[in-house]
Every structure is written in C-alpha cells, then in structure tokens.
Amino acid sequence: MFHIDLYRLDEPRQVESLGLDDMFGSGALVLLEWAERFPSLMPAQRTEIRLRTVSEDEREITVTHIPQMSV
C-alpha cells in the first residue's frame, strides 16, 4: 500500500517525480489525498472516495468507481 498526500505540491512535474506510474503498475493499493489537483496524472480506471463536511460532527462519503474507457 502506498499513501501519498499531494496537498503541498504545486506543479505536475513535482507529482511525476514521485513515480506514481510505477506505483499504479505495481498492483499495490495506492491512496492519494488531494488527487483532484492533478487529474491528468490519475489512471483512467480508479475508485474515488470523496469526503464532504456536512456539519461540525457529520461527514458525507461518496465512493465512485471510474471504469477504463474503451476506444
């Protein structure tokens, strides 16, 4: 399992230097925080888990599977 927090990164080249392609291809679970900041670097097929603050003591969790697009 890999856990990467992209919050403090500003440019795609910074993210590319982490070796995400190798992680994605390893068969390991890859958990990315703030991945929405770099959508072009994410794999086509993935599961997104989004957390939204509803109130001070309540959160909404949405899980979306994004299948690989066929051409």
pTM as predicted: 0.77
Per the DSSP assignment, residues forming a β-bridge with 36 are none
Q: Is 54 inside a domain boundary?
A: yes
Query: Who contacts 4 (Cβ-Cβ below 8 Å, separation ≥6)?
Result: 18, 20, 23, 30, 31, 32, 33
Q: Is 38 inside a domain boundary?
A: yes
- pLDDT score recorded for residue 70: 66
Q: Is 32 inside a domain boundary?
A: yes
**Residue span of the structural domain in which 54 resides:** 2-66
Q: What is the DSSP string of the chain?
A: -EEEE-TT--SHHHHHTTTHHHHHHTTS-EEEESGGG-GGGS-SSEEEEEEEEEETTEEEEEEEEEPPPP-
Q: Is 71 inside a domain boundary?
A: no
- pLDDT score recorded for residue 68: 81
pLDDT tens digits for range 23-69: 999 999 999 999 999 998 999 899 999 999 999 999 999 999 999 87
- pLDDT score recorded for residue 31: 95
CATH of the domain at 41: 3.40.50.300
pLDDT tens digits for range 14-32: 998 999 999 999 999 999 9
- The count of domains in the chain is 1
Q: Is 21 inside a domain boundary?
A: yes
